[in-house]
A and B are shown apart, each in its own frame.
Chain A
């Protein structure tokens, strides 16, 4: 009995050490780095817009960027073809006919557009657009979908405020097992 108690105690000690004093069974080879030095990689933008960079763009500026960098794949005025359509598709989500899922009809957050275009577009030159250009092309595509006024300017303050029509269109999958 005392042996068992002692074994239990040792086990508890090891567990608490490993959690309080970092992993004792780990080589601890991670190199400390400052968030400032991580900035070039820290490009994800959540729905609250936290982390959006300085800069701004207008619809007119975005139209120029779009024609030069986006239109070849996404069509004139975001109509799509050969790649995804970016505009329209409103009122196609309910029912059983094919849905047209675009930035305007389907995407729930404006921040996703900034995040994705900055990291992945244009496909052949990802991460090449300036922040001003990303804001501008966001303004243009939001405008084509009728989401912002003609004189709107997109920046870190205004972009997260854009009201996406399908903002409340998503429900969490009901059968994801809980992990606790």
Chain B
């Protein structure tokens, strides 16, 4: 797949697919791009100015502070959110992660996406409690302090809103960037108590088949989750990337339901009721169900299926002249590990595998990278992920064939960035 080809201009290059995509293994070589540029080690950039000492090298810096902040020069690296359609219901909406300005696999806590239905509650952890009841031998109440004494476990996991990438289900491509289209996905290290530990302590009645998980926010968001999933890998989380969970992400307790629809990862968790059948709450009937052209709708759409996106280059992170660039992005699957990410620069006519950066973890995002020699001509960049179950990320046309354009939830289609001859990128349907 990555065989050397003789290029028209006479240079031997590690071209791996059309429109200048290079072999991912170039990143592993010490002579990186020497052969690609055809110019050996000769620099491509103009001569640098003579170096001088800037003022921050000539005077003492700032003293210490208690809680760090980003550099003042990073003020554009923020979540975005649109004003509520109805100002009276201001706490219904989303704030999106700026993936075009991030790299690596972990989303900083200040930039983790938020989806809320009733605003962010101001919860005093000394007064917050978690009740476990219903079909159990012993109904129990846990304080946050008590939970803090339990054996902890950590897991790096993505959370993705069921409505993420819904923009790809629009009839026409909208002028959106990666944040606007795919910003309802984030990935963090979550730490807490295995839900199975707490359920065992309460004593599970054999007739229990589901749990209802409910938040302490004003909307009391509630979802039914199969008991088997609750016992498999759910975590009652107290920490997000090492510190206590941020208020907008569930302080002081959030339920992590790895790989399942974001709305099921109940924030501000205050109650778990064991039941023998799903409760059929608002968010598992009227919302987060996928209406099909037949008029029937899918319910219990739990796993977020295999998906990927290119974060760099992307709209707003444009190309500055022809030459070598890194194409980079994220891939994830609610069904397990990512096994392959392929990249195309010619709108899907030819593909080549990207380098998957360690660690590659189940139900976490995987960072992929691929070198690209941009010729300066128009191109269409796409990424296509495969997970360990063998599922391949579908094209937009395949999704539409299955469910039409009205099922915007869990829209995991291949996305496309068009590159024009000026190096500017836009969202297109290709």
Contact = CB atoms under 8 A, between A and B. Distances in A.
A46 B281 CA distance: 8
B298 A172 contact: yes
B36 to A, nearest CB: 41
Interface string B175-212: 00000000000000000000001101111000000001
A42 B297 contact: no
A170 B298 contact: yes
Given A26-B200, A33-B140, A179-B228, A170 B296 contact: yes
Contact of A29 (B131, B146, B298, B301): B146
B280 A47 contact: yes
B160 interface: no
A45 interface: yes
A43 B202 CA distance: 20
Contacts of B248: none
A16 to B, nearest CB: 13
A156 B235 CA distance: 35
Interface string A31-70: 1111100100111111110000000000000000000000
A27 B86 contact: no
A106 interface: yes
Interface stretch (A6-14, A96-104, A138-146, A147-155): A96-104
A176 B278 CA distance: 15
B405 interface: yes
A120 B117 contact: yes
A115 B282 CA distance: 8
B286 interface: yes
B412 to A, nearest CB: 11
B296 A44 contact: no
Contact of B299 (A28, A33, A101, A173): A173
B291 A101 contact: yes
Contacts, number: 183
B34 interface: no
Contact of A112 (B86, B271, B282, B404): B282
Contact of A107 (B89, B271, B285): B285
Interface residues of A, number: 62
Interface string B112-149: 00000110000000000001110000111111001101
A22 B139 contact: no
Contact of A46 (B151, B200, B279, B297): B279
Given A44-B222, A107-B285, A33 B131 contact: yes
A120 B218 contact: yes
A130 interface: no
B270 interface: yes
Contact of A111 (B275, B280, B296, B299): B280
Contact of A115 (B140, B229, B279, B290): B279
B242 interface: no
A177 B295 CA distance: 24
B335 interface: yes
A82 B286 CA distance: 18
23 contacts: A18-B200, A22-B200, A23-B201, A27-B146, A30-B142, A30-B146, A33-B140, A34-B139, A42-B273, A44-B281, A46-B275, A46-B280, A72-B88, A94-B294, A94-B295, A112-B282, A120-B219, A120-B282, A123-B218, A170-B289, A173-B299, A178-B228, A180-B228
